[in-house]
Chains A and B, each alone.
Chain A
Amino acid sequence: MSVQSKKPVLLIIDDNQLNVETLTDFLERDYQIHGALTGPDALAMANEIIPDLILLDIMMPFMDGFEICRQLKSNTITASIPIIFITGKGDEADIALGFELGAVDYVTKPFHMPEIQMRVNHHLNFSSANENLKQTNMKLERQVKQKNSDIKDMLKASIRVMSQMFENNDPSTAGHQQRVAKLASDIAKEMNLTEDQIESIRIAGLLHDIGKIRIPDTILSRPGPLLHSEYELIRIHPQVGYDLVKHIPFPWPVAEFILQHHEKLDGSGYPQGLKGDDIHQESKIICVADVAEAMTSHRPYRPALGIETTEGELIKNKGVLFDPIAVDICMSLISDKQYNYDW
């Protein structure tokens, strides 16, 4: 709108050329003035130049000031331009109608130019302050949105970094978390979980083994069976993962999903030996995807075990260790030779 260094733009609408000239003579020092002598001209011009304020006569042939006002107010481009009626028509009913139509002021004869200028100034200031506020608000709104998406990006980055750190540390299982995340979220989709749940499963899947970072390389990638105490050591990883992730303010309890991904339905899992419904559904799904992915993948210390062995393991323990629905869906997904673990 009116930049300070630029004169505000006024549109004077009056069928009497002399009136327009008189007003122009007086106001042109401080404002940039445009004049229009008929309604249609005025509407076209207002639409084109979008003045900062309109001075509007009422008694005009063809289209009177009230009608012009109505049309200006119903056009989104011109609706917010303040209108001041300036007229010889001084009946109270007319004044009331003028305001009702959305005018901000109504000046009647006899005209005192300095007073008219005062009123024009008052409304210009008021509306430009409003306009500034609107602009600032719009800017703020954009900034808030931007921050919001920054936060989302930051969360994504946290996940990526954490996941990457782990894979840097344990290349033998590189990609395992990625693939578990893919398989688990595909299972979740088939189970008709909510978008939110699917996303939280994906994230927890990407991070579920992060706690293994604390387990010495020599144990983690050891070929052949582990000693009991070595195996015990591996079992710290859900708790370690929980501790690492718990402070990141995810909108979901991702840390708990990680904590429970080795719990089993019959309570034989770790670390807490939780049973059945005490285990998060998200964790149960990750658990199934984890087993399936691990068994079907090659490891430095053993070749891949193949689909049949994997399915045998899942079926044998379906409903005992593993969530039966998740098992069924998982099997139907991976038995398809085309199943793609990549994103």
Chain B
Amino acid sequence: MSEKKPYVLICSDLPRTMVQLRRSLEQDYQVFCMDRTDLIVSTAVQRKPDIVLININMNKTDGISACAQLQGNELTADIPVIFISEIFDEKDTLEAFRAGAADCMKYACHVLELRARMENHINLKQAREELVHKHHQLSDAMLQENERLQDLMTATIRAIVQTVESRDPYTAGHQQRVSDLATEIAMRMGLSSDQKMAIKYAGLLHDIGKLRVPEAILNRPGKLLCMEFDVLKIHPEIGSNILESVPSPWPLARIVLEHHERMDGSGYPNGLKENDILIESKVIAVADVMEAMSSHRPYRPSQGIDLALKEINSQKGLLYDTKVVDICTELFTYHQYQFGW
């Protein structure tokens, strides 16, 4: 408070006391005086004083209720109020504290005491303000860091997806479309928002293990030989190994690992069954099949949405999760879901 004089608002109905207070304070404080208690809140809102002195003698309850109003208004609640009154009895003093007063003293002429009490409360208020200010700063920093982390994660995933797809342009967009469909299914299944996010990102990354599969096998028209197919089957493990080192709040590596597992245990790499498979993986499995069958590939034309729906429904409960298939079917049949490009 050395650089700028603190602002004190004095409300007094004794003109002589008011003058006396002004004189004793105006050298070190910016002083504003008023005598109407009914205007105290609007004046305080407008002038934003650092402290309020109330010296009301004719109608003590008006002074106390003015204090209560100041404390009740969020714009002025943090301004300390000191009552100065020679005629306050014990009951009045208690009333004043109950109304939110910070302090009460008896004699306006005790300038030394008054200044000490004022300074005390101004200091306390400043200490509080500093804490609050720091709190806001930290909260903002937290928001910013969260956003940075989010951006970074999105950018990383995007870079990974682009990297995979720049090698294998034929499936370019495949992961994006699988992710979109799987997220839509997850939403309608009422999965938690964490699960939805996990599905969204794992969907975007589910095929990155194909990097390790030679192009000759990856894009081969016609049926693959058993051994070639075995090579193709390494991709969930490779992808999961790569993702293990990405710190994320979701089990991305495991979801990717299990996206070719099937309900009856006929999937790969581990032949997991039913409840041993993550629901996130089951959702992606269905979306993966839907997208793959219905889109055009260099080695075969699109087989169409209808055939894809027929396939997942004929294997419902056998290979694919029943609820996922039902919701996916509903999406295409009743909600005209379309893959974006």
Contacts and interface: CB of A to CB of B under 8 A. Distances in A.
A60 to B, nearest CB: 22
Interface in B40-82: none
B296 interface: no
A122 B167 contact: no
B224 interface: no
A161 B94 contact: no
Nearest to B212: A168
A325 interface: no
Interface in A229-282: 240, 243-245, 247-249
Contacts, number: 153
Chain A at the B interface: SS class:
helix
A54 to B, nearest CB: 16
A215 to B, nearest CB: 9
B110 interface: yes
B187 interface: no
A161 B211 contact: no
Nearest to A134: B131
Interface residues of B, number: 55
Contact of B160 (A153, A165, A240): A165
A240 B159 CA distance: 11
A126 to B, nearest CB: 7
In the complex, which of the residues A96, A112, A140, A165 has the most CB atoms of chain B within 10 Å of its own CB atom? Answer: A165
Interface in A104-142: 104-106, 112, 114-115, 118-119, 122, 126, 129-130, 133-134, 136-137, 140-141
Contact of A248 (B142, B148, B152, B243): B152
Contacts of B164: 165
B138 A141 contact: yes
A262 B113 CA distance: 79
B124 A214 contact: no
A161 B160 contact: yes
B35 interface: no
A296 B153 CA distance: 37
A148 interface: yes
Interface in B97-156: 97-98, 102-104, 110, 112-113, 115-117, 119-120, 124, 127-128, 131-132, 134-135, 138-139, 141-142, 145-146, 148-149, 151-153, 155-156
Contacts of A217: 214-215
Given A95-B116, A112-B90, A214-B167, A136 B135 contact: yes
Given A115-B93, A119-B97, A92 B113 contact: yes
Interface in B208-264: 208, 211-212, 214-215, 238, 242-243, 245-247
Interface string A209-241: 011011011000000000000000000000010
Residues of A in contact with B, size category: 35 or more
A7 interface: no
B300 interface: no
A136 B139 CA distance: 10
A123 to B, nearest CB: 9
A214 B167 CA distance: 4
A114 B145 CA distance: 49
Contacts of B112: 92-93, 95-96
In the complex, which of the residues B90, B115, B146, B245 has the most CB atoms of chain A within 10 Å of its own CB atom? Answer: B245
Contacts of A297: none
A103 B93 CA distance: 21
A244 B166 contact: yes
B90 A133 contact: no
A99 interface: yes
Given A151-B145, A160-B245, A140 B135 contact: yes
A100 interface: yes
B158 interface: yes
Contact of B113 (A96, A151, A245): A96
B156 A248 contact: yes
A294 to B, nearest CB: 21
19 contacts: A99-B120, A104-B120, A104-B124, A112-B93, A115-B93, A129-B128, A130-B128, A133-B131, A144-B141, A144-B145, A147-B145, A147-B148, A151-B152, A157-B156, A158-B246, A165-B211, A240-B166, A243-B162, A244-B159
